[in-house]
Amino acid sequence: MSNNKAAKELTNCEKLIMKVVWEAKDDISTPDTIEQLKVRFGKEYARTTVVTFVQRLVEKGYVTTYRRGRVSYIRPTQSEEEYRNRMLQDTVNFWFDGDWTEMISALCSDSNLNAEEAEKIREIIDNTDR
Mean pLDDT of the chain: 90
Say how many domains are in the chain: 2
Claim to verify: residue 66 and residue 96 sit in the same structural domain: no
Predicted confidence band of residue 3 (pLDDT cuts 50, 70, 90) = very low
pTM of the model: 0.80
Q: Is 81 exposed, middle or buried (0-12, 13-18, 19+ CB in 10 A)?
A: exposed
pLDDT tens-digit readout, 68-120:
999 999 999 999 999 999 999 999 999 999 999 999 888 888 678 888 988 89
Through-space distance between the first and last CA atoms of the chain, rounded to whole angstroms: 24
70 plus 95 within the same structural domain: no
Residues 51 and 109 in one domain: no
In a domain, 1, yes or no: no
